[in-house]
């Protein structure tokens, strides 16, 4: 006769253990099935001495087992002790291979042939048993591992950690922590920021990097593994570094096959989708409940709360509210019509497209980070140029985006289900337009970090957002009277492609008439003349290219390659042609754009014999500038060293225009052909400094300047993230005596940045001044524009936008 | 093609890239040239009684223009240092300063009516000419030297140059420990040498005939010749190599300082003499009105 229980709990992690503890407390007959010989294998396998965190901090813990942030060993000790004190019935070495039967009479087959009967089953097996694997050539023959038990075991190795989550960061930090081990550790992140990881972990990682203990490579993906080496695609091209061991921590997915065999459906066919669950964690196979990481909850606190709750539900407690209920009640209390939390969560999920695939439980967590607003008709949601980077979803009602600041009647309607404010997620610019409710609406406001997390964890949300932003970008570019309806086919045919630095998207002489829109990054257009590539022009994000072959027919007339890692929207030529046929004024606009390019081609062709030396010179100068980050700049300070007398008046003017600190270093930086790129902000198209700013203090102003506002906490992340070293951390010096009193009485340090000594001697008493991040703000708000340029006595300092500077029209000037 | 608004580059002056001499297609050269031309033509046309002098109506006009110009030209020093808001550009000021300053040669000379003597009036004139001549030197070096300054430093900053020297000095200090007293003394002199030392002439010419580093190297080589050489292990060889590197680092920074000195030295005449000029000018004006 098989063992029979009221509840069988599969998996003894935080979720399963907490469930078993609740069952034991309630006196329910239960069994906790664990496939290994110890409790909580995932945490057991954490790195030795790992500090386990207790996030999210606003969530209340409700469980019969205790848990607090602390060392892995201490936490496991507490659980082991409490498991035996509470007389939890644990059955070790019990790996479940099959679940059969129906609610009330399930049969669980164990490895080894034993069977267990249970009325209800709680699946709490997590996802760690099924890690995402690395898929690059060479994985089979080289050392690749998906977990790390004791970082102390490895010495004298070149180790590459792949993964931007907590596990990857903790492994990398662990391996590099002891310099005696002499490991060379590199951590790779495919994207620019570590949005999936906990804040404290990211800080620790960056501090280790600054101490020179490990290397952090963002925007980088592995490409090839070879004996002793790994080849990487970085933002600036391909790199090959020594590597003896790869530790891949790229997340994990549910063991889907097994779960589907249990009769449980998933929300979507995506690899990272979660099982469909009711609010009481019941799966589509009645009687089987799913909790913990398998339900989409990787955090320990959530897991433990769910373990408690699920047993209460199974025991017939229908009035139990989740532990986070009071927090959510607070968020929903101002909405019309006295409805419960459940109702609103369901309402938002059903009505906002990007939230559709969240499970009810993910939805709860999502709402803990987000806010919901009821706005009246005509009320302004946000103003043009207001700072803010949150994303808004419209659950009911609708808004109008006022595209023309002078004429509020010109507006684009956005209806329920859609989102707005998505531009903030991409570039962190200020709001580009005022948005006003066109009827009474309910809006959900998702902070930038929560939205990034949503996109990272729900692929469908990412796709939906990408589609919306492609549509809006195309509307913005092709503008002239188009509506979303016209673009439907174009958007459907489009795909977003990521292009590595230096990779081409079209080659001269090639067939093809697809159109490319540059979404992020920038492109360089080249033409081969006399066997050498000649730089034709530079295309910033927001430009499109490829229309010439489409309209005129024929082959590609130039080669287009990425200046830095970029994303392009590829639009099928067929679909675009159909659109052009429907909209003659669009065709006209495209023809006008094309004409300027044809002129340029003709110009180059005509000039190539007469001054090929100058063309060469121009091409190599352009190449130098792109190498120095001008390719991602929007506005950059250049110094013509044929004119610069080294007076440093630019630095002094900068300091005197900005509370006494200079934001540029004239002498430092690269020089080519007497063109000097000083250390000063380039106002990147996609600023690296914005990637990880805890108070979200870095914004883009109306003139394109990237600036840091007064909420800066001085953490230094932006300084570390800037690849050009243009951000400094410093204290604001005390106010200097006036210029006239310096001239006539010699009082104070004179123009420019005061010396440290003077600042120290004249510092106001009392509290120590905090250091803050200081960078160029393009003298925004100062009449007359950038002080460095105004204060240059010889005209050596110029500020340029790359698209204006890197164009062939410059050739004549160079020649002249 | 580029759909991004291009207004930004217009705001920044964009690609309008001209030096101070060519500013706005020589606008101030034209204005200053016009001023000179009008002065000369008027000088020739107006019959001044009894003879051309500063006391005639024409003379007073030129004198007033000249004095106001001198005061305004002096204001460049203030303009350069007062970072006020507004649509001004120091480049435009420099351009005007250069061309209007040069026009003073004509304006002031015609104002004198070619009467010179040993008095405060001629003193003011001479001081003004010294200021203008030093300024002309300034224009010349501003036009010629920046590219040499840039070529010489090749992306290293002055701070980096000094850091290199300091680190070489540290290595020299360590490497010289096994040397005998005579050799160590030579190295010590090189270590104590201040790269900023030397007189004005050395700074401007770039010649440092008594450079202790070069002397130390020559002397050490002479000493080494008398000894057997055991390749590599010889401490003298290491010191020699370090001295060689120090010398090339010194050459770089001395050249750098030389160019900077050449670019700046004229200001030490231009500015103090300007103040002397203003004092003499005041005396000239007061005395003229006093003895009316």
For the stretch A440-471, pLDDT in tens is: 999 999 887 788 878 877 788 888 888 888 88
Indicate the pLDDT class of residue B13, thresholds 50, 70 and 90: very low
Task: Please list every residue in chain A whose beta carbon sits closer than 8 Å to the beta carbon of residue B4.
Answer: 540-543, 803
Q: Does B221 touch chain A (CB under 8 A)?
A: no
Q: What CA–CA distances, in Å, run from A182 to A81, A178, A472, B106?
A: 38, 8, 51, 76
- Higher-pLDDT residue of A475 and A741 is A741
Indicate the pLDDT class of residue B121, thresholds 50, 70 and 90: very high
Residue A162 has pLDDT above 80, yes or no: yes
Residue B98 has pLDDT above 90, yes or no: yes
Distance of CA A9 to the CA centre of its chain: 37
For the stretch A583-628, pLDDT in tens is: 888 888 888 878 877 777 777 777 666 656 666 767 777 777 777 7
Angle at A316 between CA A313 and CA A319, to 5 degrees: 70
Q: Which neighbouring-strand residues pair with A390? A: none
Residue of B nearest to A676 (CA): B155
Task: Please list every residue in chain B whose beta carbon sits closer than 8 Å to the beta carbon of residue A677.
Answer: none
Mean pLDDT for chain A?
84
Indicate the pLDDT class of residue A582, thresholds 50, 70 and 90: confident
For the stretch A656-683, pLDDT in tens is: 998 889 999 999 888 887 888 898 998 8
Q: Does B146 touch chain A (CB under 8 A)?
A: yes
User: In Å, how far is B87's CA from the nearest CA of chain A?
Assistant: 4
Helix locations, A406-446, DSSP H: 423-427
Q: Does B87 touch chain A (CB under 8 A)?
A: yes
Of B3, B8, B158, the CB nearest to A635: B8
Task: Please list every residue in chain A whose beta carbon sits closer than 8 Å to the beta carbon of residue B263.
Answer: 645-646
Burial of A268 (0-12, 13-18, 19+ CB in 10 A): middle
Of A544, A596, A783, the CB nearest to B87: A783
Of A545, A669, A785, the CB nearest to B12: A785
Q: Check B89 against A537: CB less than 8 A apart.
A: no
Angle at A606 between CA A605 and CA A607, to 5 degrees: 95
User: In Å, how far is A470's CA from the nearest CA of chain B?
Assistant: 15
Q: Check B12 against A635: CB less than 8 A apart.
A: yes
In contact, A769 and A659? CB cutoff 8 Å: no
Q: Does B271 touch chain A (CB under 8 A)?
A: no
Indicate the pLDDT class of residue A143, thresholds 50, 70 and 90: confident
Query: Taking Cα atoms as reference points, which of B284, A376, A26, A538 lies closest to residue A18?
Result: A26
A217-231, A366-380, A795-809, B77-91 — which is least confidently predicted?
Answer: A795-809
Percent of chain A whose pLDDT exceeds 90: 21
The region that residue B197 occupies, defined by phi over 0 for left and psi between -120 and 50 for alpha, beta otherwise, is beta
Stated as kind and residue range, the H or E segment containing A797 is: strand A797-800
As a whole number, mean pLDDT of residues A355-380 equals 85
Task: Please list every residue in chain A whose beta carbon sits closer than 8 Å to the beta carbon of residue B154.
Answer: 671
- How many whole angstroms separate alpha carbon A670 and alpha carbon A637? 12
Q: Check A671 against B155: CB less than 8 A apart.
A: yes
Task: Please list every residue in chain B whose beta carbon sits closer than 8 Å to the beta carbon of residue A669.
Answer: 155
Of B78, B90, B145, the CB nearest to A791: B90
For the stretch A235-279, pLDDT in tens is: 777 888 889 899 988 877 778 888 888 889 888 887 777 888 887
Task: Please list every residue in chain A whose beta carbon sits closer than 8 Å to the beta carbon of residue B153.
Answer: 667
**Model pLDDT, residue B9:** 31
- Nearby residues of B162 by Cβ (< 8 Å), 6 or more positions away: B195, B253
Q: Check A643 against B19: CB less than 8 A apart.
A: yes
3-state class (DSSP) for residue A259: helix
Q: Check A800 against B14: CB less than 8 A apart.
A: yes
Q: Does B18 touch chain A (CB under 8 A)?
A: yes
Residue B52: other Cβ atoms inside 10 A: 19
**Model pLDDT, residue B8:** 32
- How many whole angstroms separate alpha carbon A420 and alpha carbon A400? 10
Percent of chain A whose pLDDT exceeds 70: 94
Of B12, B17, B260, the CB nearest to A786: B12
- Phi then psi for residue A519, to 5 deg, are -90, -50
User: In Å, how far is A783's CA from the nearest CA of chain B?
Assistant: 5
- How far apart are the two ends of chain B, measured CA to CA in Å? 72
**Model pLDDT, residue B15:** 42
**Model pLDDT, residue B90:** 93
User: In Å, how far is A538's CA from the nearest CA of chain B?
Assistant: 9
Residue of B nearest to A547 (CA): B1
**Model pLDDT, residue B124:** 95
Q: Check A805 against B15: CB less than 8 A apart.
A: yes
Task: Please list every residue in chain B whose beta carbon sits closer than 8 Å to the beta carbon of residue A598.
Answer: none
- Phi then psi for residue A25, to 5 deg, are -60, -40
Residue A812 has pLDDT above 50, yes or no: no
3-state class (DSSP) for residue A51: strand
Of A634, A669, A798, the CB nearest to B17: A798
Query: Taking Cα atoms as reference points, which of A65, A94, A84, A86 lies closest to residue A300?
Result: A65
Token code pair at residue A223? 């490409």
**Model pLDDT, residue A325:** 83
Token code pair at residue A437? 């409710």
Architecture in CATH for domain A495-609: Sandwich (2.60)
Superfamily name and number for A144-248:
FAD/NAD(P)-binding domain (3.50.50.60)
User: In Å, how far is B152's CA from the nearest CA of chain A?
Assistant: 11
Angle at B200 between CA B198 and CA B203, to 5 degrees: 70
CATH of A328-478 given 2.60.120.10, 1.10.260.40, 1.20.58.110, 2.40.100.10: 2.60.120.10
Residue A689 has pLDDT above 50, yes or no: yes
Residue B14 has pLDDT above 50, yes or no: no
User: In Å, how far is A544's CA from the nearest CA of chain B?
Assistant: 7
Task: Please list every residue in chain A whose beta carbon sits closer than 8 Å to the beta carbon of residue B159.
Answer: 667
Residue of A nearest to B153 (CA): A667
**Model pLDDT, residue A475:** 77
**Model pLDDT, residue A609:** 65
Q: Does B140 touch chain A (CB under 8 A)?
A: no
Q: Does B26 touch chain A (CB under 8 A)?
A: no
Residue B76 has pLDDT above 90, yes or no: yes
Of A641, A704, A739, the CB nearest to B146: A641
In contact, A89 and A32? CB cutoff 8 Å: yes
Residue B10 has pLDDT above 50, yes or no: no
For the stretch A742-791, pLDDT in tens is: 888 888 888 989 888 888 888 876 556 778 899 999 898 888 889 999 99
**Model pLDDT, residue A89:** 93
- Nearby residues of A154 by Cβ (< 8 Å), 6 or more positions away: A175, A181, A183, A245
Portion 91-120 of B in contact with A at CB < 8 A: 91, 93-94
As a whole number, mean pLDDT of residues B83-94 equals 91
Q: Check B13 against A789: CB less than 8 A apart.
A: yes
Mean pLDDT for chain B?
86
For the stretch A166-182, pLDDT in tens is: 888 888 988 888 888 88
Task: Please list every residue in chain B whose beta carbon sits closer than 8 Å to the beta carbon of residue A786.
Answer: 12
Of B6, B17, B150, the CB nearest to A674: B150
Half-sphere exposure of A553 (CA within 13 A, CB side): 0
- How many whole angstroms separate alpha carbon A575 and alpha carbon A487? 9
Token code pair at residue B270? 């231009």
**Model pLDDT, residue A669:** 86
For the stretch B18-60, pLDDT in tens is: 889 989 889 999 999 999 999 999 999 988 877 888 888 899 9
The domains spanning A328-478 and A495-609 adopt the same CATH topology: yes
- Residue pairs between chains A and B whose CB atoms are closer than 8 Å: 157
CATH of A3-129+253-323 given 1.10.1300.10, 1.10.150.80, 3.50.50.60, 3.40.220.10: 3.50.50.60
**Model pLDDT, residue A529:** 75
- Higher-pLDDT residue of A634 and A516 is A516
For A694-712, the DSSP string reads: TT--EEE-TTS-EEE-TT-
Residue of A nearest to B87 (CA): A784
As a whole number, mean pLDDT of residues A484-499 equals 82
Query: Taking Cα atoms as reference points, which of B61, B67, B53 lies closest to residue B113?
Result: B53
For the stretch A368-419, pLDDT in tens is: 888 899 999 999 998 877 767 788 999 999 999 887 777 777 788 888 888 8
Domain ranges of chain A: 3-129+253-323, 144-248, 328-478, 495-609, 620-815
The two counts, helices (H) then strands (E), for chain A are 25, 41
Q: Check A783 against B145: CB less than 8 A apart.
A: no
- Higher-pLDDT residue of A808 and A39 is A39
In contact, B62 and B36? CB cutoff 8 Å: no
């Amino acid at each position: 006769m098989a063992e029979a229980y009221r509840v069988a709990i599969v998996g003894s992690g935080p979720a399963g253990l907490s469930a078993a503890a609740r069952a034991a407390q309630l006196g329910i007959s239960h069994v906790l099935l664990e496939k290994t010989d110890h409790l909580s294998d995932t945490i057991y396998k954490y790195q030795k001495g790992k500090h386990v965190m207790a996030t999210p901090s606003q969530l209340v813990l409700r469980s019969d087992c205790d848990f607090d942030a602390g060392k892995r060993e201490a936490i496991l000790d507490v659980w082991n002790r409490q498991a035996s004190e509470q007389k939890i019935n644990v059955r070790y070495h019990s790996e479940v291979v099959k679940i059969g039967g129906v609610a009330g009479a399930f049969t669980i087959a164990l490895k080894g042939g034993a069977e267990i009967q249970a009325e209800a089953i709680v699946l709490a097996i997590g996802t760690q048993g099924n890690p995402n694997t690395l898929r690059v050539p060479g994985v089979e023959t080289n050392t690749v591992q998906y977990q790390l038990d004791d970082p102390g075991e490895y010495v004298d190795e070149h180790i590459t950690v792949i993964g931007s989550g907590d596990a990857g960061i903790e492994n990398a930090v662990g391996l590099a922590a002891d310099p005696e081990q002499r490991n060379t550790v590199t951590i790779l992140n495919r994207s620019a920021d570590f949005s999936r990881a906990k804040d404290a972990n990211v800080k620790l990682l960056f501090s280790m990097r600054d101490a020179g203990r490990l290397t952090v490579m963002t925007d980088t993906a592995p490409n090839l593994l070879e004996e002793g080496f790994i080849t990487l695609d970085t933002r600036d091209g391909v790199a090959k570094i020594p590597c003896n061991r790869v530790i891949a921590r790229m997340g994990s997915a549910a063991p889907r096959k097994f779960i589907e065999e249990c009769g449980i459906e998933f929300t979507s066919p995506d690899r990272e989708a979660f099982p469909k669950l009711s609010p009481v964690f019941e799966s589509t196979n009645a009687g089987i409940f799913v909790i913990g990481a398998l339900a989409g909850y990787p955090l320990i606190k959530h897991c433990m709360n769910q373990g408690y709750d699920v047993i209460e539900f199974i025991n017939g407690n229908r009035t139990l509210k989740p532990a986070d209920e009071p927090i959510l009640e607070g968020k929903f209390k101002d909405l019309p019509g006295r409805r419960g939390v459940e109702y609103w969560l369901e309402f938002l999920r059903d009505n906002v497209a990007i939230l559709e695939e969240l499970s009810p439980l993910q939805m709860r967590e999502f709402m803990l980070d987000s806010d919901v607003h009821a706005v009246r008709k005509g009320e302004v949601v946000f103003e043009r140029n207001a700072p803010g980077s949150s994303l808004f979803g419209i659950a009911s009602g609708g808004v109008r985006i006022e595209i023309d600041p002078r004429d509020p009647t010109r507006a684009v309607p956005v209806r329920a289900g859609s989102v707005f404010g998505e531009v903030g997620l991409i570039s962190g610019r200020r709001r580009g337009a005022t948005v006003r409710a066109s009827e009474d609406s309910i809006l959900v406001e998702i902070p930038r970090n929560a939205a990034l997390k949503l996109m990272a964890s729900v692929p469908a949300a990412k796709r939906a957002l990408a589609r919306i932003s492609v549509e809006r970008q195309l509307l913005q570019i092709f503008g002239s009277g188009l509506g979303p309806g016209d673009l439907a086919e174009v958007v459907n045919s489009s795909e977003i492609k990521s292009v590595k630095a230096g990779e081409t998207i079209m080659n001269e002489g090639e067939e093809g008439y697809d159109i490319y829109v540059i979404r992020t990054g920038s492109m360089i257009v080249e033409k081969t003349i006399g066997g050498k590539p000649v730089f034709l022009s530079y295309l910033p994000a927001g430009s499109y290219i490829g229309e010439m072959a489409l309209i005129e027919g024929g082959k590609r007339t130039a080669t287009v390659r990425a200046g830095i890692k970029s994303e392009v929207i590829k639009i099928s030529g067929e679909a675009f042609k159909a659109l052009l046929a429907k909209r003659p004024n669009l065709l006209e606009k495209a023809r006008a754009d094309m004409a300027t390019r044809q002129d340029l081609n003709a110009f180059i062709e005509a000039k190539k014999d007469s001054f090929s030396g100058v063309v060469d010179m121009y091409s190599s100068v352009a190449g130098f500038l792109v190498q120095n980050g001008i390719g991602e700049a929007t506005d950059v300070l250049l110094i013509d060293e044929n004119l610069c007398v080294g007076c440093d008046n630019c630095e002094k003017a900068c300091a005197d225009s900005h509370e006494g600190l200079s934001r540029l270093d004239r002498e430092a930086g690269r020089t080519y052909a007497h063109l000097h790129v000083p250390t000063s902000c380039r106002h990147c198209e996609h600023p690296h400094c914005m990637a990880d700013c805890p108070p979200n203090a870095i914004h883009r102003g109306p003139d394109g300047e990237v600036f840091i506002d007064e909420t800066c906490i001085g953490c230094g992340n932006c300084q570390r993230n800037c690849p050009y070293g243009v951000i400094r951390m410093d204290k604001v010096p005390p106010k200097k005596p006036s210029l006239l009193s310096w001239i006539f009485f010699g009082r104070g340090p004179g123009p420019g940045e005061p010396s440290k000594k003077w600042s120290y001697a004249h510092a106001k008493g009392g509290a120590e001044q905090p250091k803050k991040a200081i960078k160029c703000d393009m003298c925004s708000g100062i009449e007359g524009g950038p002080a460095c340029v105004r204060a240059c006595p010889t005209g050596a300092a110029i500020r340029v936008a790359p698209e204006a500077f890197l164009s062939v029209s410059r050739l004549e000037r160079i020649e002249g | 093609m580029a759909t991004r608004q291009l207004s930004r580059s217009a705001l920044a002056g964009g690609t309008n890239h001209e030096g101070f001499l060519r500013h706005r297609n020589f606008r101030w050269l034209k204005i200053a040239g016009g001023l000179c031309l009008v002065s000369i033509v008027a000088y020739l046309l107006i019959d001044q009684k009894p003879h051309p002098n500063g006391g005639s109506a024409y003379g007073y006009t030129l004198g007033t223009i000249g004095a106001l110009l001198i005061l305004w030209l002096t204001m460049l020093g203030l303009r350069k240092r007062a970072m006020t808001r507004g649509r001004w550009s120091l480049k435009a000021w420099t351009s005007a300063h250069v061309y209007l300053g040069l026009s003073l040669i004509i304006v002031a000379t015609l104002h004198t009516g070619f009467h010179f003597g040993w008095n405060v009036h001629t003193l003011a004139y001479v001081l003004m000419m010294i200021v203008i001549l030093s300024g002309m030197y300034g224009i010349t070096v501003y036009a010629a030297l920046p590219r040499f300054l840039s070529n010489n430093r090749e992306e290293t900053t002055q701070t980096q140059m000094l850091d290199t020297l300091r680190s070489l000095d540290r290595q020299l200090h360590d490497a010289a420990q096994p040397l005998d007293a005579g050799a160590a003394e030579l190295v010590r002199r090189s270590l104590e040498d201040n790269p900023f030392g030397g007189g004005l002439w050395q700074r401007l010419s770039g010649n440092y005939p008594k450079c202790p580093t070069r002397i130390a190297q020559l002397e050490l080589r002479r000493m080494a010749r008398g000894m057997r050489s055991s390749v590599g292990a010889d401490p003298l060889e290491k010191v020699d190599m370090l001295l060689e590197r120090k010398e090339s680092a010194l050459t770089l920074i001395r050249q750098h300082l030389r160019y900077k000195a050449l670019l700046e030295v004229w200001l030490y005449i231009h500015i103090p003499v300007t103040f002397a000029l203003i004092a003499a000018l005041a005396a000239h004006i007061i005395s003229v009105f006093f003895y009316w």
